[in-house]
Amino acid sequence: MSFRANRILIAAAASACLVALAACERNSTATDAPAATGPVAAKKAAAAAASADTTVTIAVEGMSCSGCENSIREAVEKLDGVAAVRATAKGKYAEVRCDPAKVTVPQIAAAINKLGYKADEKQTTVTK
């Protein structure tokens, strides 16, 4: 392959990446505060983990990359009673370990939907 053909392929790949990045940025909010850190945040996370005895798996449409997964994780982790979140674009779901006394499935779905994704409460499983 010629040098010029290689440059064209690289430019096309870079363009596709920029389009995908722009789509992910549309789905995230620019005003999100950074995740809390420090001893208070660590104590809150430890307390949530200790009381988290339920795992909620909810179907999510609209994720396409790790940026989408991170946006969902960060938004849902802000909810009181959430100990851990794992979102996967490939599997099209989010898995939330939480305390059901503090957070509900509709609250989790609302946090995801607020970002522009579609969390399907009807396609949800809850395990203890």
Contact 114, 27 (CB under 8 A): no
pLDDT score at 76: 97
C-alpha distances out from residue 107 to 27, 77, 90, Å: 18, 12, 23
Q: Determine how β-strand 54-61 pairs with β-strand 93-98.
A: antiparallel
> Dihedral through CA 57, CA 62, CA 70, CA 45, nearest 10?
-30
Do 108 and 122 touch, CB atoms closer than 8 A?
Answer: no
pLDDT at 11: 46
Domains and CATH numbers, the chain: 3-127 (3.30.70.100)
> Within 13 Å of residue 16, how many CA atoms lie on the same side as its CB?
6
User: pLDDT tens digits for 62-79?
Assistant: 999 999 999 999 999 999
- Give the model confidence (pLDDT) of 19-57 as tens digits: 444 455 555 444 444 455 666 666 566 655 555 589 999
What single-letter amino acid sits at 87?
Answer: A
pTM of the model: 0.62
The whole-number pLDDT of residue 12 equals: 44
